[in-house]
């Protein structure tokens, strides 16, 4: 793993929150980024679920170089290339696509493939991936499943980024697991809040999430 990748992982592990963001309009990117920065969060995941994703990443990467901006829901090589060309430094996927994982390094992208079974964990490890998106976290067994995976795989150094069904009510239980580097979630940046330009609520929820994450990290 390159020094650049190590630094990115350290930043993600220090904040322990990766907001999963769906933007319908690229013009929403800058005010959202400013809101997250005010709240103390300099990490964003812009998902490739809309046509505005690449342009939104480009806007953030250009105007806010201090933000670690990544691409989410990267399902194929074309999306991976568009993410890299737009300035994304890392990418996440709901599943494990070997071709995407292998191409990510050539594009200068740190890839977090999605897993939910032991076989998928082992496949990811064989591809030298050590940070894995555990998805869909709650539907796949939640904290109970993570505990089960920690037994046979903790010695490998693998860490998880659980996403799916996580919010203020259960984020602490995930962050308390030694295998969890950070959690992903959309509850602090819901589409309706963004559509309504409700930056105050987003800032409030982000501060609350970061406070919980900080209290767990300090234990």
Considering the candidates 15, 45, 159, 203, report the single residue annotated as catalytic. Answer: 45
Number of H helices, E strands in the chain: 10, 9
Side-chain half-sphere CA neighbours of 128 within 13 A: 9
133 is catalytic: yes
Q: In what order do the strands lie in the sheet with 114-115?
A: 114-115, 131-134, 159-162
Considering the candidates 133, 159, 203, 204, report the single residue annotated as catalytic. Answer: 133
DSSP assignment letter at 180: B
44: β partners: 69
- Please return the burial class of 157, using the count of CB atoms within 10 Å of its CB with bins 0-12, 13-18 and 19+: exposed
Count Cβ neighbours within 10 Å for each residue of 44-60 and write b for 16 or more, e otherwise. bbbbbbbebbbbbbbbb
Longest distance between any two alpha carbons in the chain, whole Å: 46
- In what helix (H) or strand (E) does residue 43 lie, and over which residues does it extend? strand 43-47
Catalytic residues: 45, 133
């Amino acid at each position: 793993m390159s020094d650049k990748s190590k630094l990115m992982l350290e930043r993600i592990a220090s904040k322990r929150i990766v907001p999963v963001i769906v933007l319908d309009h690229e013009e929403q990117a800058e005010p959202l980024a400013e809101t997250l920065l005010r709240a103390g969060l300099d990490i964003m995941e812009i998902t490739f679920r809309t046509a505005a994703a690449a342009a939104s990443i480009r806007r953030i990467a250009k105007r806010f170089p201090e933000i670690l901006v990544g691409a989410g829901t990267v399902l194929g090589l074309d999306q991976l290339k568009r993410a890299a060309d737009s300035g994304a430094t890392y990418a996440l996927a709901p599943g494990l696509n070997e071709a995407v994982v292998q191409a990510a390094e050539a594009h200068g992208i740190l890839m977090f493939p999605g897993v939910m079974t032991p076989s998928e964990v082992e496949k990811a490890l064989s591809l030298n991936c050590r940070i894995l998106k555990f998805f869909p976290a709650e539907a796949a067994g939640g904290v109970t499943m993570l505990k089960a995976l920690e037994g046979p795989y903790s010695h490998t150094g693998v860490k998880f980024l659980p996403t799916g069904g996580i919010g203020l009510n259960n984020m602490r239980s995930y962050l308390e697991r030694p295998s969890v580097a950070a959690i992903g979630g959309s509850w602090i940046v819901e589409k309706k809040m963004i559509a309504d330009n409700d930056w105050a609520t987003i800032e409030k929820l982000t501060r609350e999430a970061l406070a919980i994450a900080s209290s767990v990290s300090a234990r």
